Amino acid sequence: MTCHSFNQAAKPKKKRPAPISLRVSENERALLKELAGQRSVNAYVREKVFGDQETPRRSYRKPRSDEAAIGKALALLGQSRLSSNLNQIAKAANLGTLPVTPDLTDELASACADIRRMREELIAALGIKSQS
């Protein structure tokens, strides 16, 4: 490593500016949220204070409550151990430590189909393109 690259790595990174806080009453907060509409309150206040002088920012839209709930359900489904548990069942079946009956095969196929359907419905509800 050269001295120059070491010096570059040692430079402190640029910090974001400190936030400005504003205390408002509950009624004022409710009014700000209403006036902001689909935008964040921060974006609304920034627009009102700076108008067109502001540098363009990434657009942000507050998720609807149902979108947030669906997103949370999708995240929980992704974090669940369902796929791991199904994999362990398949491994036990392959090793012969789990007797594979026609009923078990049907139940596992049904569980897989249910999980796939839940995932597809959640992704469709969020308007996300499925990668599968």
Q: What is the pLDDT of residue 70?
A: 79
Domain containing residue 36: 24-62
Is 34 part of any domain? Answer: yes
Q: What is the pLDDT of residue 100?
A: 82
Same domain assignment for residues 73 and 122: yes
Is 41 part of any domain? Answer: yes
| Weakly modelled stretches of the chain, pLDDT under 70 | 1-13, 52-65, 130-132
DSSP the chain: --HHHHHHHHSPPPPPPPP------HHHHHHHHHHHTTS-HHHHHHHHHHGGGSPP-----PPPHHHHHHHHHHHHHHHSSHHHHHHHHHHHHHHTSS---HHHHHHHHHHHHHHHHHHHHHHHHHTPPP--
41: which 2 tokens? 């309150």
Is 10 part of any domain? Answer: no
Same domain assignment for residues 56 and 79: no
Q: Are 60 and 43 in contact (CB under 8 A)?
A: yes
Q: What is the pLDDT of residue 104?
A: 84
**What is the number of domains present in the chain?**
2
Is 99 part of any domain? Answer: yes
Torsion of CA 102, 103, 108, 112, to 10 degrees: 100
Q: What is the pLDDT of residue 47?
A: 86
Same domain assignment for residues 121 and 76: yes
Q: What is the pLDDT of residue 31?
A: 94
